[in-house]
Amino acid sequence: MADQQAAALLGAFAKFFPNATTLGSFVNGELVEGRGETSIEIVNPATGQAVLTYRDAGADVVAQAADAAQAAQKTWWALTHAARGRVMQAVGAKIREHAEALAQLESIGAGKPIRDCRGEVGKVAEMFEYYAGWTDKFFGDVIPVPSTHLNYTRREAMGVVLQITPWNAPVFTCGWQLAPAIAMGNGVLLKPSELTPASSLVVAALAEQAGVPRGLINVLAGYGHTTGQAAISHPVVKKVVFVGSPATGSKIATAAAQRLLPSVLELGGKSANIVFDDADLKRACLGAQAAIFSSAGQSCVAGSRLLVQRGVYDQMIDMLARGAEKIRVGNPLDDTTEVGPICNRTQYQHVMNMIDAGVEGGARLAAGSQQRSEGGFFVRPTVLADANNAMGVARTEIFGPVVVAIPFDTEEEALAIANDSEFGLAGAVWTQDVARAHRVASQVNAGTFWINGYKTINVASPFGGYHHSGYGRSSGVEALYEYTQTKSVWVETAANPATPFGYV
């Protein structure tokens, strides 16, 4: 069985790297073997079995990638803005051309349902196309200074940036970070999770096939504490962007700060999904399911705290629990599967332990099971009802298909519960009262907020968090500011300017 799984993963990968016998890093246009001291094991989350190993990239491969990125960035920055845009449009087209094969690889490697992977690959193509349109429309300003000078600003590339992406949405976060970075003329070292590097390697290869300079995008397959640390420490790197947990984000930011590097952190969440008694309960229930059960709950914006007004609380929980039991959990490659496995064993154990802790702490298991899966890391969609916001399951990011339901009485109480969290990534409200909808949206501390909907995300809209959910923005026009720096240029225009000091 393990041999068959390895063959499936390598077969999907070999469509893009025909001579590959295992995974590696993509450096200066080639798939190279790691030179680190340890090997990394890839496990199929649908079976729990190890399927192959590859070498950690290590510091030597990082140095090779940094040199390649620095050289290619100079070539890329020298192109006209319009020329960069044409190449990025071609990258989007290339990804669409290979969309099904890339989706298959993502499903096998990350354990995500294939129908979700198809959608995410399409969004990656859209990201390159969107930022292609910005390359020649992002410009500086002329400042009306009180002197005889012409003062203007230029937006210039950072140089080479390091991007560290997570295992829960490998191909999506790869495109989410790469597209704005290269649109503004930067070179990239991308370090995906060591558990799910395959689809990022392919995106980099397709980008070069589409015309991106060789070496501009380098993908480092390896551990964070070895390969990632070596990349942060490399003098070529001018900025660090991280997507992942708050604990790791704190370490990343600390390491970057030691080199005085700016960073962007897109971290976790414990988002409040608020349902008032005047809401369309059927729509709210479907929205709540999508908010927490899609992607097996492995989403930073998951609506993991469901706040329901007491008058409709029992009805809502009953509807949600009955719906949860009908959701199809199974093989990610099956087109009918709605929820796949948790991506890795460590996270699976965390999710199951949190379910146990919730029940022991007094929550009611309205849907789901505490029974461990014998084959693969599958967790049934779970509803922990009758909870309160002081419980650990209401305060800790579970990152699995587990919703914690909390009743409330008044709008003021709902807002207090929603904001009683160290996180601030997302949230939502369901109500037919327009004034209340906008009032709640303005008062919940979150970087993204939905009204009568959930989890709508588009590359054109800025995304990021408050508080422990991070800082900086990863999409929209605001992301372009993250990948550029401002230069102020002064030009003396007077024929005989005043010289307040100096000798000839």
User: Which residues have CB under 8 Å from 244's CB, separation 6+?
Assistant: 164, 165, 166, 252, 266, 267
List, in sequence order, every beta strand (DSSP E) within 293-425. 305-309, 364-367, 382-385, 402-408
Q: Could you give the maximum distance between any two Cα atoms of the chain, in Å? A: 87
- Is 266 an annotated catalytic residue? yes
Could you give the CA distance from residue 233 to residue 255 in angstroms, rounded to a whole number?
8
User: Which residues have CB under 8 Å from 233's CB, separation 6+?
Assistant: 255, 259
**357 CB-side CA count, 13 A:** 16
Q: Which of 266, 338, 397, 482 is catalytic?
A: 266
Which whole-number Å values give the CA distances from 466 to 111, 326, 500, in the listed order? 30, 35, 47
3-class DSSP assignment, residue 9:
helix
Residue with tokens 């410009």: 139
List, in sequence order, every beta strand (DSSP E) within 392-471. 402-408, 426-430, 448-451, 470-471
The residues facing 488 across adjacent strands are: 153
Residue with tokens 């079976």: 47
Cα angle at 302 between 296 and 304, to 5 degrees? 95
Q: Which helix (H) or strand (E) holds 128?
A: helix 114-132
Could you give the CA distance from residue 154 to residue 152 in angstroms, rounded to a whole number?
7
**Residue among 234, 210, 183 at smallest CA distance from 76:** 183
Catalytic residues: 266
